[in-house]
Amino acid sequence: MSGPSDFQPTNPALKWIERRLPIMGLMHSSFVAYPTPRNLNYWWTFGAILSFMLGVQILTGVILAMHYTPHADMAFKSVELIVRDVNYGWLLRNIHASGASMFFFAVYIHMFRGLYYGSYKEPREVLWILGVIIYLLMMATGFMGYVLPWGQMSFWGATVITNLFSAVPYFGESIVTLLWGGYAVGNPTLNRFFSLHYLLPFVIAGVVVLHIWALHVAGQNNPAGVEPKTEKDTVPFTPYATMKDMFGVSCFLLFFAWFIFYMPNYLGDPENYIPANPAVTPAHIVPEWYYLPFYAILRSIPNKLAGVVAMFGAIIILAFLPWLDSAKTRSSKYRPLAKQFFWMFVVVCIGLGYLGAQPPEGIYVIVGRILTFLYFAYFLILLPLLARIEKPRPVPNSIADDVLAKTGGKPAPMVSTVIALMVAGGLLLGGAESARAAEGSAKPPAQKWSFSGPFGKFDRGAMQRGLKVYKEVCASCHGLSFVAFRNLAETGGPGYSVAQAQAFASEYKVKDGPNDQGEMFERPGRPADYFPSPFPNEQAARAANGGAFPPDLSLITKARSYSRGFPMFLIDFFTQYQEQGPDYVTALLEGYEDKPPAGFNLPEGSYYNTYFPGHAIKMPKPLNDGQVTYDDGSPATVAQYAKDVTHFLMWAAEPHMEARKQLGLQVFVFLILLTVLLYFTKKKVWANAH
């Protein structure tokens, strides 16, 4: 995008177009002939990864919008039905949801890279500021997208974040009402968030074009931090950078695919599998992991307005970086002090991320204040000071010299790369883990599940027995409104035939109508019907259950989680252990105690349960030995019932799990092959550049 191109098409048709719209010349000079510094390391591929991720998010987002319903009453269900009914809907949703996390993961590396190598310094200030704008837009987009599924975290996240604006003096309340379009977060809020969530990515794409334009005017920075001087310092973008970026993207895809196929809920909050409820706040509201450091800053300031100002300030301050750091040497490679402080700053950011997920009490508040101070001190005190007092090491004369020195030298960058990757991984995982921590409940014992692990399959027998237990026991209070009778005959399900599913459905009475006489009537269920709820509405359910509302069970295994603690969550990540919900449900069903322990004050009308948060549950012990008859010879015990019904509920929560794992394996085989091929191709291409 810099200057006129020397691109000369030979094909007459292309020539004709080129004279009228020189787009091929533009492309050629931007992405083919464009000179790239020879010494770029892999930190630079994150730019390409980000462009790729933006494309992925827009593509999957546009498709998901074709199936999503932006209405407060239907949003939650429509997301669940995308996952259940739309062909490959589960895949698209997983890509889009984990994709948001991947996008932020990549952008943080991209930003830290810029920070370390001084990519914000003259003449790249505008490039940097455009980057900060993109980051802000990403944050807004990510936040609004998180609201759309209209789960508990969506709703309360939206409430808490929009309420930040109530800190504005005098106009606060009116601004918040304006943002909501009502007197509380509600349908108008959801509608406008959907509209903006759809719009903003295109704005981001526009700013990205400016970002790349500015990049191509100033030229790329590089690890040595010296400008290219001669031909020898650069290589043409294609094939060199193209191949390297493609290899980088391919490696990144391997990482991404792990989440999509094997840990799709690892980065999300289980609370969001509970439909939004304006009357109850979750015990612990946490934003997505990528906002945690800023959330920690918000909370460590005891004053509401000052907290909000500090939080926004923490982001805006990045835009002033080019002027806060006036050091002449660009790359921290040659700045011994700056380098050390950079890593300390990384640790501060990760520390803030960790604190953002902790309850704001006791020691966490104090550490939070210290880290908040250090965060701002880095920009406002340290960087200006360092520029004055630090004695940088001599920088190489040219990029070519840098490359020569490196090929002869020790492989030091590798070590820092590995450390940095581990730290970054820790940030991602640490944030995720603590974000799903639930307090105040005893940790139930981990079970062995046939459906866990990379090739896990449901145990059909257990599912069929579980369905029986559900129907004879649980169904008298709990609904299963996201599961249709036809689902019973689907692959991956309990292994029913279509006729069996139909017969099963017809045993239910379903309310239908009005008929020609204008009356409601009851008819036998059909395969297309959903499992009915035993109560006509929430009030009736509460009246029949001593004020408690029995939750719908189709997502319950996904909505339950408890703190796994360090280092368990790391092990969970590699072993794909996601079965916290089913563990919780079995434990709950088996956890009844006739007598509460001494000193426990059991409220009237409650029962003691070891695993229920607070230990006082309104539901009487639902299962007793011998209550349901099994005809396959399995023991008719509470433990067996609990295990079976949990099998069934796990399937009800994610009917396409087996398809996900199967496709995941195929994708991995393909990606590994592609990555290996790309690696050798890249090596071959670069061989003549060294």
Partner 1 sequence: MTTASSADNPTRRDFLYVATGAVAAVGGAATVVPLVSQMNPDASTVAAGAPIEVDLTPIAEGQDIKVFWRGKPIYISHRTKKQIEEARKVPVSSLPDPQSDEQRVKPGHDQWLVVVGICTHLGCIPIANEGAYDGFFCPCHGSVYDTSGRIRQGPAPTNLAVPPYTFVSDTKIQIG
Binding site for partner 1 (CB under 8 A): 156, 159-160, 162-164, 166, 177-184, 186, 188, 192, 278-281, 283-285, 299, 302-304, 307, 359-361
> Which residue's CB is nearer to partner 1, number 281 or number 666?
281
Indicate the residue among 301 and 377 with the shorter CB distance to partner 1. 301
Q: Nearest to residue 588, comparing CAs of 477, 472, 433, 447?
A: 447
Q: HSE of 570 in the Cβ direction (CA atoms, 13 Å)?
A: 8
Q: Mapped to the 3 state alphabet, what secondary structure does 134-157 carry?
A: HHHHHHHHHHHHHHCCCEHHHHHH
Cα–Cα distance for residue pair 462/472, rounded to 1 Å: 15
Complex with partner 1: residue 277 or 450, whichever CB lies closer: 277
CA 327 – CA 41 distance, rounded (Å):
23
Nearest CB to partner 1, comparing residues 281 and 515: 281
- Dig out the tokens for 566 from the structure: 């360090």
To partner 1, the closest distance from the beta carbon of 439 in angstroms equals 10
- For the CB of residue 504, give the shortest distance to partner 1 in the complex, in Å: 39
Which one, 548 or 570, has the nearer CB to partner 1? 548
How near is the Cβ of 374 to partner 1 at its closest, in Å? 22
Residue 164 or 214 with smaller CB distance to partner 1: 164
Closest contact distance (angstroms) between CB of 261 and partner 1 is: 35
Pick between residue 278 and residue 626 the one whose CB is nearest to partner 1.
Answer: 278
Contacts for 615-620: CB closer than 8 Å, 24+ residues apart: 617/588, 618/545, 618/546, 618/547, 618/548, 619/477, 619/545, 619/548, 619/550
**Closest CB to partner 1 among 186 and 425?**
186
| Closest of 278, 62, 93 to residue 189, by C-alpha | 278
- The CB-of-187 to partner 1 minimum distance in angstroms stands at 9
Alpha-carbon gap, residue 41 to 348, rounded angstroms? 25
Q: How far is the CB of 280 from partner 1 (least distance, A)?
A: 6
* CB nearer partner 1, residue 26 or residue 301: 301
User: In degrees, to the nearest 5, what angle opens at C-alpha 289 toward C-alphas 442 and 264?
Assistant: 75
Question: Minimum distance between the CB of residue 281 and partner 1, rounded to whole angstroms?
Answer: 4
Task: Using the structure block, give the residue that is written with the tokens 């426990």.
Answer: 600
Contact yes or no for 100/291 (Cβ under 8 A): no
CA contacts within 13 A on the Cβ side of 307: 20
* Comparison of 118 and 307: residue with beta carbon closer to partner 1: 307
Instruction: Give the Cα separation of 133 and 319 in Å (integer).
Output: 8
Compare residues 2 and 177 and give the one whose CB is closer to partner 1: 177
Question: For residue 348, how many C-alpha atoms fall within 13 Å in the half-sphere facing its CB?
Answer: 21
- 539 phi and psi angles, rounded to 5 deg: -60, -45
Instruction: Write down the least CB distance from residue 360 to partner 1, Å.
Output: 5
Q: What are phi and psi for residue 481, nearest 5 degrees?
A: -75, -5
Cβ neighbours for 349, distance < 8 A, ≥ 6 positions apart? 293, 375, 427
SS3 content of the chain, % helix, strand, coil (to 5): 60, 5, 35
The 8-class DSSP code of residue 262 comes to I
Buried b / exposed e along 229-257 (16+ C-beta atoms within 10 A)? eeeebbbebebbbbbbbbbbbbbbbeebb
> Alpha-carbon torsion 98, 60, 482, 634, what sign?
negative
Structural element, H or E, at residue 608: strand 607-609
* Beta bridge pairs of residue 484: 530
In the complex with partner 1, the residue whose CB is nearer, 331 or 434, is 434
Of 170 and 183, CB closest to partner 1? 183
Q: How far is the CB of 307 from partner 1 (least distance, A)?
A: 8
Nearer CB in complex with partner 1: 191/447? 191
Determine the Cα–Cα distance for residues 616 and 622; give it in Å rounded to an integer. Answer: 15
Helices (H) and strands (E) in the chain, counts: 26, 9
